[in-house]
Amino acid sequence: MESAKNFLDKVYQFERAVAIFAFSVMTLIIIADVIIRKIAGVGIAGAMRIAVYAMIVTALISFGLASHKGRHLRPKFADQLLPKSWEFQIISVQESLHALFSLVFAIVSIGVVYETYLLEETSRMLRIAIWPMQSVIPFAFIVGFIRHSLYALYPEIRLGDNSDMANQEGLSK
Amino acid sequence: MMTFLFIALIIVALLLRQRIVVILGFVAGWCYVVWGDGELSYVVMDIWAAADQEVLLSIPLFILAGNIMSQGSIAKRLITMMRVATAPVPGGLAIATILSCAFFAAISGSSTVTLIAVGSIMYPALIKAGYSKNFALGSLCAAGTLGIIVPPSIPLILYGVMTQTSIADLFKAGIGPAIMLTSIFSIYALIYNLKIERGDFQLSEIITVAKKGIFALFMPVLILGGIYSGLFTATESAAVAVFYAVIIEVFIHKEMNFTDLQKVIIETSTMLGSLIPLLMMALSINTFLAYEHVPHGLVEIIQANVNSQTSFLLLTLVGLIVVGCFVDIGSAILILAPLLAPLAIAQDVDLTHFGILMIVNLELGYLTPPLGLNLIVAMGVFKEDFWIIAKAVLPFLLLMFIGLLIVTFWPSLSLFLL
């Protein structure tokens, strides 16, 4: 169990670093674009596209951050309907189903990215291949599969859902 | 038969505590594979298409700007300003509480953060000044909800993305109802607390505290002024808000360093990690529904059974109040906005106005048991029993409902700036 926790902590550190980098790129390039456009009348070519790709990377990498911190939204109104004594089993099933969901979407998204690669789809504005950016989708789901499988095996290492109610409100405003 | 199986599986998923993103992913997959003769890969393609939109950039930027501005002592500065400014008015401290919440909400971008930041200072102050516990709890919980209607509001952006409505227009439309609700709460605070002792008017003190809080107060002016004057788009104003927030907190107030900034980015990323995948799944379902002409079918059913705009609006109000009691506002908008928008158009309801009434309606959900987020947060912050807080917010719920009726049946209140 300890090694699973250590492994997930390392994954979290990696996701954290990528998220900070991608978020910073997104923010800085938009700010630079807006400032330059307002001053010079012309913005940075392709700035918005780069920002959108950086946002996608941030959002999907952060899918793992939200799992790590127990921040995925979950309706709780049905929580009291099953007996409390089933708690451990329910959490195992909950995490197993999340892992299964991630696995299915990981497999399907690998196929989609491979198709994009074969079709040599490119970003019209930036003239670069799209598939490296798209790869973040299967990556997020693969990590999700590993993370939630480990949570199913060792529920003790996970944080509870909506563990910090005050911070749930990313969705609220 | 497949429909019954589908509903049964959703119920099982809820019992087994599945996250909304998993449930929406399952629904999207089921729609394409079972009902649409399609493939699961369509969902992944929709996920990519949903995320690949420039309009979404405003979401992380506004959240980041709000998170940066919430880190320092802005709440304290605003509260001091409002306290001094409202001291000579009967119930001045209560009005200061409501105004602080409204202004802090416009800056922080969060209803619960507003409740925590303003509440932790104002709750003991209100009790000490002789205000009733019920009033203090109710006013803080209710005024905290203003966060989602005061622009810039993430629910308004989500609604704009899901229904292809101009986000700048939605922000402009939110101003009237936000001022109206703030005024209703303030008038109630004044009447309820007429007997409470008032303070003196001191111009010099007002000027002193205004100097300390002026930069924070200028942020909503910058964002809304930029959008309203046509100088910025929603995304541009979000970028300007981040830039301004960093300058204020790091260089002027000096309450934040770059290590703190990193923590705020992680906090914001984590919020995005729960929000954007939800949005992607919801947009995939939306794409399927549009492809299968489901909204069109719904419009025909509603038109056959609902014969006036008023009946449609009343039905919507009741439905959304019930939904707001059980589902969080983000999920409710992502799921219901694309379904309700065509119905609103068919009933000649302006989509921007409909967005505002939908958000104000769902705002009530913050204060309604069993899942009212502000009630739950208030339990922790004020160390009070859930049902005591739920009872304390009742008069404010009634006021909000009156406000909701005004917003619903007086479209000009929302649309006068457009």
pLDDT digits (tens, 9 = 90+) for B258-267: 889 999 999 9
Answer with the residue of higher pLDDT: B197 or B236. Answer: B236
3-state secondary structure chain A: CHHHHHHHHHHHHHHHHHHHHHHHHHHHHHHHHHHHHHHHCCCCCCHHHHHHHHHHHHHHHHHHHHHHCCCCCCCCCCCCCCCHHHHHHHHHHHHHHHHHHHHHHHHHHHHHHHHHHHCCCECCCCCCECHHHHCHHHHHHHHHHHHHHHHHHCHHHCCCCCCCHHHHHHHCC
State the sign of the Cα–Cα–Cα–Cα dihedral B104, B384, A159, A74. Answer: negative
- Chosen from A107, A163, A171 to mutate, greatest number of chain B CBs within 10 A: A171
Task: Name the band, by pLDDT with cuts 50, 70 and 90, for residue A168.
Answer: very low
pLDDT digits (tens, 9 = 90+) for B208-250: 888 878 887 788 788 888 887 888 888 888 888 899 888 888 8
Chain A residues within an 8 Å CB radius of B43: 105, 108
- Contacting A residues, span 137-156, partner chain B, CB-CB under 8 Å: 137
Mean pLDDT of B129-147: 90
Q: How far apart are CA B372 and CA B394, in angstroms?
A: 12
Across A77-86, B45-54, B85-94, B102-111, least confident range: B102-111
Answer with the residue of higher pLDDT: A14 or B379. Answer: A14
β-partners of residue B343 are none
pLDDT digits (tens, 9 = 90+) for B57-99: 988 998 888 888 877 777 778 888 888 888 888 888 999 999 9
**Residue B14 is nearest to which of A26, A62, A75, comparing CB atoms?**
A75
Neighbours of B222 (CB within 10 A): 16
State what percent of residues in chain B have pLDDT above 70: 100
Residue A172, pLDDT score: 43
Across B82-91, B178-187, B409-418, least confident range: B82-91
Q: Tell whether A99 is within 8 A of chain B (Cβ).
A: no
Amino acid of residue A18: V
Mean pLDDT of B260-275: 91
Picking from B145, B138, B220, the residue whose alpha carbon sits closest to that of residue B182 is B145
Q: Is A173 within 8 Å of B155 when comparing Cβ atoms? A: yes
Amino acid of residue A20: I
pTM: 0.84
Q: Tell whether B1 is within 8 A of chain A (Cβ).
A: no
Q: How far apart are CA A62 and CA B330, in angstroms?
A: 18
Chain A residues within an 8 Å CB radius of B238: 30
* Calculated CA dihedral for residues B310, B313, B314, B316, nearest 10 degrees: 160
Q: Is B328 within 8 Å of A168 when comparing Cβ atoms? A: yes
Chain A residues within an 8 Å CB radius of B269: 19-20, 23, 58, 61-62, 65
Name the minimum distance, in Å, from the CA of B217 to any CA of chain A. Answer: 19
Q: Is B25 within 8 Å of A71 when comparing Cβ atoms? A: no
Name the minimum distance, in Å, from the CA of B98 to any CA of chain A. Answer: 18
Residues 6 or more apart whose Cβ sits within 8 Å of residue B222: B237, B240, B241, B244
For residue B143, pLDDT beyond 80: yes
For residue A173, pLDDT beyond 60: no
Residue B190, pLDDT score: 92
Name the minimum distance, in Å, from the CA of A1 to any CA of chain B. Answer: 23
pLDDT digits (tens, 9 = 90+) for B297-334: 888 888 788 888 999 999 999 999 988 888 888 888 98
- Contacting B residues, span 215-234, partner chain A, CB-CB under 8 Å: 232
Q: Tell whether B102 is within 8 A of chain A (Cβ).
A: no
Q: How far apart are CA B263 and CA A99, in angstroms?
A: 28
Q: Tell whether B66 is within 8 A of chain A (Cβ).
A: yes
Chain B residues within an 8 Å CB radius of A28: none
Quote the ipTM score: 0.89
Phi, psi of A43 (to 5 degrees): -85, -170
Chain A residues within an 8 Å CB radius of B52: 52, 56
State what percent of residues in chain A have pLDDT above 70: 92
* Calculated CA dihedral for residues B283, B285, B291, B297, nearest 10 degrees: -110
- Chosen from B24, B30, B40, B44 to mutate, greatest number of chain A CBs within 10 A: B44
Residue of B nearest to A55 (CA): B57
Give the count of Cβ contacts less than 8 A between chain A and B. Answer: 235
State what percent of residues in chain B have pLDDT above 90: 35
Residue A111, pLDDT score: 95
Residue of A nearest to B325 (CA): A77
Answer with the residue of higher pLDDT: B1 or B350. Answer: B350
Mean pLDDT of B329-343: 88
Residue A162, pLDDT score: 58
3-state secondary structure B68-98: HHHHCCHHHHHHHHHHHHHCCCCCHHHHHHH
Chain A residues within an 8 Å CB radius of B329: 171-172
Picking from B98, B101, B127, the residue whose alpha carbon sits closest to that of residue B112 is B101
Mean pLDDT of B396-412: 95
Residue B230, pLDDT score: 81
Q: How far apart are CA B96 and CA B98, in angstroms?
A: 5
Q: Buried (b) or exposed (e) across A46-73, using 16+ Cβ within 10 A?
A: bbbbbbbbbbbbbbbbbbbbbbbbbbbb
Q: Residue A5: left if φ>0, alpha if ψ -120 to 50, beta else—which one?
A: alpha
The rounded mean pLDDT for chain A is 88
Mean pLDDT of B112-140: 89
Mean pLDDT of B189-199: 86
Residue of B nearest to A53 (CA): B52
Name the minimum distance, in Å, from the CA of B360 to any CA of chain A. Answer: 12
Mean pLDDT of B187-206: 85
Residue A166, pLDDT score: 42
For residue B117, pLDDT beyond 90: no
Residue A61, pLDDT score: 95
Picking from A157, A104, A98, the residue whose alpha carbon sits closest to that of residue B18 is A98
Residue A98, pLDDT score: 94
pLDDT digits (tens, 9 = 90+) for A121-155: 888 888 899 999 999 999 999 999 999 999 999 98
